[in-house]
Amino acid sequence: MSLIKSISGIRGTIGGPAGEGLTPIDIVKFTYAYCAKLRERRPHPDGSRYKVVVGKDARLSGEMVEQLVCGTLVACGVDVVKAGYASTPTTEMAVVFAKADGGIILTASHNPRQWNALKLLNEKGEFLNAAEGQAILDCAESGEFDFAPVDELGHITEHDFTDEHVQAVIDLKAVDEEAVSEAGFKVVLDPVNSVGAIIMKRLLERMGVECVMINGTPNGDFAHNPEPLPQNLVELSETVVREHADLGISVDPDVDRLAFICENGEPFVEEYTLVSVAEYLFAKAKKLAEIQGISLEEATAPYKPVAVSNLSSSRALRDVAEQHGGRYVAAAVGEVNVTTKMHEENALIGGEGNGGVIYPASHFGRDAMVGVGLFLSNLAYKKMKVSELKKTYPPYFIAKNKISLSDKALIDRILSQMKEVFKDERINDIDGVKIDFEAERQWVHLRRSNTEPIIRIYAEAPTQEAAEALAARVISIAEGIIKG
């Protein structure tokens, strides 16, 4: 059994002893702590009631976890807006739609069926920052609980926010519903038997897209490993070819990550989801600037022509941003770190190389719905096959490795000495050590795992062979440091 406590919430496998798995006791403790810190973080001087939105993906344990979370919120004197089956981005937006004080998302994202989690949101529908998350962890472990008396119990209402989310995507200026409908796209959708079967299908139908769906029963019985990686999307690739579809769309169980399959069955590669969407937005802004004789900053207003991703994401995002006159900024790994940097930069677009698209014109959260709306609009304008579109982007390949260590103290030594070994290269140490070999258009990123005594080593280069060779070189150096 596993239980992982982090600043963004708790996740774990269902069942087992309290504190070792995600049990009812753990769920109640952390939900209570969320309420307690919510009152401190967001005081109501007028004495008005607090309101929290709760949404869940279609996991087998979803109903059980939902009942415990909603019951605990009510016991804390908090009103609950139960969103039912709702994607992570839907729940994030629902907090704003409902003018709530916060939200709790019940999903373990791409983790297997035995996992579930509580992900915690503020009044903007965004994940809590590190300090707020740590305060909740501390409160949950304090063992001090004080619930509301009977006359002050909260109340539960139910509201389906699916159509509001779909409409919000269609209403985005950069999403061209008419152009997509006229293009007559046929897609195959794999929502891995979770909430994407409800909301993604509805978006595609609203945009006039013919949708063939596989694994489309939202029962939480995942038909394959739910992470949208090429090796898990064989059925989707085969169906795209068999159906003569224009593309395949894969989302994870909570619909915040997005991957495409080309019309020939080949992976578009999840790293290029964000790259493609960003290139579309930058190109659109550049064209507007040229037509109107204005600056790129004026064309992207109220946002700046800046793209943000984490240190382990592809250099291709930087390339396409700079190609169109924009700027690229790196953030530490983790969605909250990316969104924090995006706020600081007032960025036009951002996200993560795992297929996570964050578009501030919609909201500050990874949203596969927004990603699909933007991608299909781009495809409709360019009038080319998905495989042809992929070839227009800078080609990069990533090698992912790790070093297991018996002594955690070695991690700091390795990271420190790597900076010395590669001191003549561009180094970024905001999250581990990233070494950028500018001349070769290569980079390698070493960072500690938050849960295991390992160092993750990601390397990227213009060919897979070069990426593997760079990773091997760095691993060899690390092994030499270990031997001392």
Question: Which positions are catalytic?
Answer: 109
In contact, 68 and 27? CB cutoff 8 Å? yes
Full DSSP string of 333-383 = SSHHHHHHHHHHHTEEEEEETTTEEE-TTT-SSB-HHHHHHHHHHHHHHHT
Q: Which residues contact 3 (CB under 8 A, 6 or more apart)?
A: 10, 11, 12, 13, 19, 20, 21, 22, 26
Please name the residue that has the structure tokens 């769920």. Answer: 27
423: exposed, middle or buried (C-beta count within 10 Å: 0-12, 13-18, 19+)? exposed
Q: Which tokens is 117 given?
A: 């989690």
Q: Quick one: which of 231, 196, 230 has its CA closest to 213?
A: 196
401: exposed, middle or buried (C-beta count within 10 Å: 0-12, 13-18, 19+)? middle
SS3 state of residue 429 = coil
How far apart CA 385 and CA 478 sit, in angstroms, is: 43
SS3 state of residue 392 = coil
Full DSSP string of 127-141 = B--HHHHHHHHHHHH
Q: Which residues contact 434 (CB under 8 A, 6 or more apart)?
A: 311, 330, 427, 428, 443, 444, 445, 446
- The strand pairing partners of 329, in sequence order, are 308
How far apart CA 333 and CA 310 sit, in angstroms, is: 5
Full DSSP string of 91-128 = HHHHHHHTT-SEEEEE--TTS-TTEEEEEEE-TTS-B-
How far apart CA 267 and CA 284 sit, in angstroms, is: 25
Backbone φ and ψ for 34, nearest 5 degrees, come out as -60, -45
In contact, 259 and 190? CB cutoff 8 Å? no
Q: What share of the chain is helix, strand, coil (3-state, %, to 5)?
A: 40, 25, 35
52: exposed, middle or buried (C-beta count within 10 Å: 0-12, 13-18, 19+)? buried
